[in-house]
Amino acid sequence: MFENAIEKAAKFTRPIHTISRTYSGKSIIPGAATIFLINDNGYALTCKHVIELLIQSEKVVKNYNSFKAERDKLPKDGRYNRTLRGLLLKYKIDNNSTIQLKNTFLDCVDKMSGFTWHLHPNFDLAILKFNDFTKVICDEYPKFKKNSSEIKQGEFLCRLGFPFPEFKNFKFDEQADDIEWTKDGVNTSPRFPIEGMITRFLGDGKGGAYGIELSTPGLRGQSGGPLFDSEGVIYGMQSRTKHLHLGFDIENKEIISNGKNKKVNDYSFIHLGECIHVSVIKDFLKLHNVKFQEE
């Protein structure tokens, strides 16, 4: 049903790869989010919470670098451990604190000096603009649903993103006490689509809809990915997943498992995806004079 639409959406949907580590460990934690390119001027869409994470990464790196600079100056004497604990308190670092967080955009532009952004004041939506590129790595851009009143409950739609970070092109440099990207190892993750039926529309409090609820969850890493129909026309953007308690609770239920009697508990929830409505996206693009296509 969505074969051709997925191929179409894949032409402008891109991953953001993230690596991080905590103070207590040397293991690197990979993560991902999704972005989709809008036009050849270097504009793209993603979630506001994704942009906030990218902004936060700069603060995290700066904080840890300042901590390291002071730590490396501490005299290695009998008071070292006590002084170090005071330094950790100063920089608000404990064993579970994220101390390094680095990001990279894949196959978006040929080069860039950075990016600027616009955050929606009310909804989980952001416009990103790549700076100082010479070429956008994209030949086909999305077409947004022109008449949003035609969007109906019961329609089946699809989302595309990168929820499973399988890339391996990173390492921990123990001598430099740093995580870094490498040229070795797998540098991609497979795209992953997931379908869902429109269950409800999410009201903006003014008689309109800001969101589309789907019968299936959006997966971690798909935030910022496009929501589209079987023709590849954009209906919205994956934002978050909510969890509603169904009330079918089971407590101390006796079952037989592997030949043994057991008592189990189960609390059931339904996981529903929430997407930003196409009408909100188009209004926000118009507000910032970002060109886009409709169909």
User: For the chain (length 295 residues), average pLDDT per consecutive 10?
Assistant: 96 97 89 97 98 93 93 92 94 94 96 96 97 96 96 98 94 90 92 97 90 96 97 98 94 91 93 97 98 97
What pLDDT does 24 receive? 87
- If one counts the domains in the chain, the total is 1
What pLDDT does 204 receive? 87
Query: At which residue do the structure tokens 């952004």 appear?
Result: 117
Q: Is 257 exposed, middle or buried (0-12, 13-18, 19+ CB in 10 A)?
A: exposed
Q: At 179, list the tokens.
A: 């995580």
What pLDDT does 49 receive? 97
What pLDDT does 59 receive? 92
Q: What is the CATH number of the domain that holds 33?
A: 2.40.10.120
User: How far apart are alpha carbons 273 and 216 in whole angstroms?
Assistant: 6
User: How far apart are alpha carbons 120 and 39 in whole angstroms?
Assistant: 19
Q: Which amino acid is at 70?
A: E
Note down the domain range covering 9: 3-294
Query: At which residue do the structure tokens 């074969």 appear?
Result: 3
What DSSP string describes the chain?
A: --HHHHHHHHTTEEEEEEEEEETT----EEEEEEEEE--TTSEEEE-HHHHHHHHHHHHHHHHHHHHHHHHTTS--STTHHHHHHHHHHHTT--TT-EEEEEEEE-SSBS--SEEEEEE-SSSS-EEEEEES-S-BS-S---EE-S-GGG--TT-EEEEEE--S-----EEEETTTTEEEE-SSS------EEEEEEEEEEEE-SSSSEEEEEESSPPPTT-TT-EEE-TT--EEEEEEEEEEEE-S--EEEEEEEETTEEEEEEE--EEEEEEEEEHHHHHHHHHHTT---EE-
What pLDDT does 91 receive? 96
Q: Are 269 and 243 in contact (CB under 8 A)?
A: yes
Q: At 38, list the tokens.
A: 């809008």
What pLDDT does 174 receive? 87
243-251: long-range contacts at Cβ-Cβ below 8 A with a sequence spacing of 24 or more?
243/269, 243/270, 243/271, 243/272, 244/269, 244/270, 244/272, 245/269, 246/270
User: Residues 197, 278, 209, 15: is their CA dihedral positive or negative?
Assistant: positive
Query: At which residue do the structure tokens 């023709």 appear?
Result: 231
